């Protein structure tokens, strides 16, 4: 594959990307930026005056398409204004709404120049060139496509110390509430070499923590490196492989399906110090009847036993989940089973939703849809319980020393923000020269969504010399020290 193409477009152009939805979309947007930079595009925070605006959309929530159309209405005014001044603004709609709505978008919003789904991002320069030619512009690019992941991984610039890397896309699970298998398509995994190459490049830019992304990340089965003795690597093998990268200190992954949590992956939690003790493992419901109707492919008991095994490998793991209340046919008794499962599992954090009918999914046409006020009441009760559990988890950290990766400056001068191994945000007083380091922090208190702490006494308060950084030698690895 060659992508060092010359382009006749020498002038700088402004690119604005608005991103909705999941981390995968955030990642894709970064990737699109990387792809467009060599074509002369500079990223702008605002659509005002931009030459190209991309709406990277998400279809998982209700009214997603409507939000996109109202954003397009606002953009039309800016586009018209720019054209009146003799300029040009191209508007593109990308992501899952683009995939789902297709030509409907340009029919309803003629100001849109380009519509493309998640599988075509790597063709973006070609598509832009084509749109430009159709409008009479001259833009010559030569672009040969190999595979989406490799093309997108090139030229990626990141800021900060923590980055996301997509390793797998799409899903074949077909949960009956979910649009992902229709919008993101069948499951594809990226090769181990390509992931390793991208992460090495990120580490060279200062990244210390990587979160591996995939709609169904633990179904990963990518081509293994030559000579490894097996054709593909699962997620456990991939994590062990990536843990060998010098300069990379923390690994995370999301989102997982209970059915794909294999023994190798579970044991990695106990064995790989760089693998952070945090696991997002959605169960959606605690009722076997509802799990079946959702086509989740496991029972509540299977999930509970799985959590036991994971805790046996890594006792301090912070468990996170997703829940849906009010799936068609869910009775109060079914809901109580979800509450019971939550009580038994003990979550450190969680996301919960009212079921919403996604057109084209089996759930949307199921009988016994649950009344809205019933869903509201269940969601409130469920979130109350999950909040209590989150608070208890956070409170359990008070008084302990946690290794915190300092990621950004705080809102107050002299304050930095970081992340604990359990993905909690931690605020503390610390000097800027510590940014990007993993430091020992004594946790003092919990706030609603974060922790406050202080540097362990004497640590890093000077000018940045004469201290040893907390890393793998830290007592208890990157877990808790009490
Ligand atoms: N209704 C409500 N929640 C949904 N999710 C996905 N589809 C729907 C839907 N139709 C939730 C699930 C999933 C998370 C990403 O979004 O809990 O795990
Ligand atoms: Fe959607 Fe996740 Fe189910 Fe796949 S496993 S269909 S992405 S909820």
Q: What is the CATH number of the domain that holds 429?
A: 2.40.50.140
Q: Which two tokens stand for residue 283?
A: 């169960």
For 451, the enclosing helix (H) or strand (E) is strand 450-455
Bridge-based pairing of strands 438-446 and 401-409 is: antiparallel
Query: By C-alpha distance, which of 426, 422, 392 is closest to 406?
Result: 426
Compute, in angstroms, the gap from residue 331 CA to the centroid of ligand 2. 23
**Among 23, 62, 100, 178, residue to substitute to test ligand 1 (most atoms within 8 Å of Cβ):** 178
The ligand whose atoms approach the alpha carbon of 297 most closely is 2
**Among 177, 259, 291, residue to substitute to test ligand 1 (most atoms within 8 Å of Cβ):** 177
**Among 178, 186, 255, 360, residue to substitute to test ligand 2 (most atoms within 8 Å of Cβ):** 178
73 and 184 together in one domain: no
SS3 201: helix
Q: Which residue has the tokens 């990141």?
A: 158
Compute, in angstroms, the gap from residue 324 CA to the centroid of ligand 1. 7
Decide: 174 in ligand 2 pocket, CB within 6 A: yes
The DSSP symbol for 355 reads -
163 and 111 together in one domain: no
Compute, in angstroms, the gap from residue 191 CA to the centroid of ligand 1. 28
For 53, the enclosing helix (H) or strand (E) is strand 52-57
The ligand whose atoms approach the alpha carbon of 64 most closely is 1
The backbone region for 304, taken as left when phi is positive above 0, alpha when psi lies in -120 to 50, beta otherwise, is alpha
Decide: 62 in ligand 1 pocket, CB within 6 A: no
When the pLDDT of each residue in the chain is averaged and rounded to a whole number, the result is 86
Is the CB of residue 269 less than 8 Å from the CB of residue 422? no
The ligand whose atoms approach the alpha carbon of 215 most closely is 2
Q: Of 395, 425, 460, which residue sits at a domain end?
A: 395
Domain count of the fold of the chain:
3
Contacts 24+ apart (CB under 8 A), 222-228: 222/167, 222/168, 222/189, 222/190, 222/191, 222/192, 222/195, 223/189, 223/191, 223/192, 223/193, 224/192, 225/192, 225/193, 225/196, 228/192
129 and 153 together in one domain: no
Compute, in angstroms, the gap from residue 424 CA to the centroid of ligand 2. 25
Compute, in angstroms, the gap from residue 219 CA to the centroid of ligand 2. 11
Give the pLDDT of residue 197: 94
> If you average pLDDT over residues 313-322, what whole number do you get?
96
Compute, in angstroms, the gap from residue 329 CA to the centroid of ligand 1. 16
211 and 307 together in one domain: yes
Decide: 358 in ligand 1 pocket, CB within 6 A: yes
Q: Whose CA is nearest to atom 5 of ligand 2?
A: 173
303 and 422 together in one domain: no
Compute, in angstroms, the gap from residue 311 CA to the centroid of ligand 1. 26
Q: What is the largest CA-CA distance in the chain?
A: 68
463 and 391 together in one domain: no
Instruction: Provide, rounded to the nearest whole percent, the portion of the chain with pLDDT above 90.
Output: 59
Q: How far is CA 359 from the centre of its chain?
A: 24
Instruction: Provide, rounded to the nearest whole percent, the portion of the chain with pLDDT above 70.
Output: 86
DSSP string covering 298-327: S-HHHHHHHHHHHHHH-TT-EEEEEEEE--
Angstrom distance (rounded) from CA 260 to CA 281: 10
Angstrom distance (rounded) from CA 158 to CA 203: 10
pLDDT in tens, 405-440: 999 999 889 999 999 999 999 999 999 999 999 999
> If you average pLDDT over residues 310-324, what whole number do you get?
97
Is the CB of residue 168 less than 8 Å from the CB of residue 215? yes
CATH of the domain at 31: 3.40.50.12160
* Nearest atom of ligand 1 to the alpha carbon of 179: 7
pLDDT band at 391 (very low <50, low <70, confident <90, very high): very high
For 116, the enclosing helix (H) or strand (E) is strand 114-116
421 and 334 together in one domain: no
195 and 126 together in one domain: no
93 and 214 together in one domain: no
Decide: 324 in ligand 2 pocket, CB within 6 A: no
CATH of the domain at 240: 3.80.30.20
132 and 156 together in one domain: no
Decide: 60 in ligand 2 pocket, CB within 6 A: no
Q: CB within 8 A of 184, min separation 6: which ones?
A: 96, 99, 118, 119, 169, 170, 171, 215
Angstrom distance (rounded) from CA 438 to CA 278: 17
Compute, in angstroms, the gap from residue 200 CA to the centroid of ligand 1. 33
pLDDT in tens, 174-222: 999 998 888 777 889 999 999 999 999 999 999 999 999 998 999 999 9
252 and 335 together in one domain: yes
Compute, in angstroms, the gap from residue 246 CA to the centroid of ligand 2. 34
Query: By C-alpha distance, which of 422, 423, 454, 424 is closest to 440?
Result: 454
pLDDT band at 99 (very low <50, low <70, confident <90, very high): confident
Query: What pTM does this model have?
Result: 0.76
401 and 386 together in one domain: no
179 vs 285 pLDDT, higher one: 285
Q: Whose CA is nearest to atom 13 of ligand 1?
A: 322
Decide: 355 in ligand 1 pocket, CB within 6 A: yes
Query: Domain range for residue 244?
Result: 148-395
pLDDT in tens, 100-112: 777 788 888 888 8
Angstrom distance (rounded) from CA 110 to CA 103: 10
pLDDT band at 258 (very low <50, low <70, confident <90, very high): very high
């Amino acid at each position: 594959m060659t992508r060092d193409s010359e382009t006749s477009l020498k002038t700088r152009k402004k690119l604005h990307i608005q991103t909705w939805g999941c981390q995968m979309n955030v990642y894709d947007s970064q990737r699109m930026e990387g792809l467009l930079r060599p074509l002369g595009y500079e990223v702008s925070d605002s659509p005002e005056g931009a030459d190209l605006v991309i709406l990277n959309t998400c279809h998982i929530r209700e009214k997603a398409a409507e939000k996109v159309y109202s954003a397009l209405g606002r953009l039309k005014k800016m586009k018209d204004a720019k054209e009146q001044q003799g300029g040009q603004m191209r508007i593109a709609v990308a992501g899952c709404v683009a995939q789902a709505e297709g030509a409907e978008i340009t029919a309803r919003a003629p100001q849109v120049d380009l519509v493309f789904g998640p599988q075509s991002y790597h063709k973006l320069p070609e598509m832009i060139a084509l749109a430009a030619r159709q409008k009479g512009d001259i833009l010559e690019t030569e672009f040969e496509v190999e595979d989406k992941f490799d093309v997108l991984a090139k030229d990626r610039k990141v800021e900060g110390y923590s980055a996301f890397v997509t390793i797998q896309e799409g899903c074949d699970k077909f949960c009956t509430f979910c649009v992902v298998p229709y919008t993101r398509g069948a499951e594809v995994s990226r090769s181990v070499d390509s992931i390793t190459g991208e992460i090495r490049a990120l580490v060279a830019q200062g990244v210390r923590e990587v979160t591996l992304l995939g709609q169904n990340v633990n179904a990963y089965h990518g081509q293994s490196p030559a000579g490894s003795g097996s054709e593909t690597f699962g997620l456990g093998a991939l994590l062990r492989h990536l843990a060998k990268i010098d300069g990379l200190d923390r690994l995370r992954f999301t989102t997982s399906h209970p059915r794909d949590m294999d023994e190798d992956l579970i044991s990695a939690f106990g064995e790989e110090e760089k693998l952070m003790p945090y696991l997002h493992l959605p169960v959606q419901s605690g009722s076997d009847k509802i799990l079946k109707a959702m086509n989740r492919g496991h029972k509540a008991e299977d999930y509970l036993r799985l959590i036991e095994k994971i805790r046996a490998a890594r006792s301090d793991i912070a468990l996170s989940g997703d829940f849906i209340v009010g799936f068609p046919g869910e009775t109060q008794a079914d809901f109580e089973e979800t509450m019971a499962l939550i009580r038994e599992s003990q979550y450190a954090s969680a996301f919960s939703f009212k079921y919403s009918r996604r057109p084209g999914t089996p759930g949307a046409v199921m009988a016994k849809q649950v009344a809205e006020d019933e869903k509201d009441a269940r969601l409130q009760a469920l979130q109350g319980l999950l909040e209590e559990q989150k608070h208890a988890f956070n409170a359990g950290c008070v008084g302990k020393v946690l290794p915190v990766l300092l990621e950004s400056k705080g809102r107050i001068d002299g304050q930095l923000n970081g992340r604990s191994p359990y993905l909690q945000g931690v605020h503390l007083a610390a000097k800027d020269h510590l940014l990007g380091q993993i430091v020992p922090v004594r946790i003092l208190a919990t706030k609603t969504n974060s922790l406050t702490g202080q540097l362990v006494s004497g640590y890093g308060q000077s000018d940045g010399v004469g201290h040893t950084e907390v890393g793998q030698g830290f007592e208890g690895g990157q877990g808790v020290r009490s």
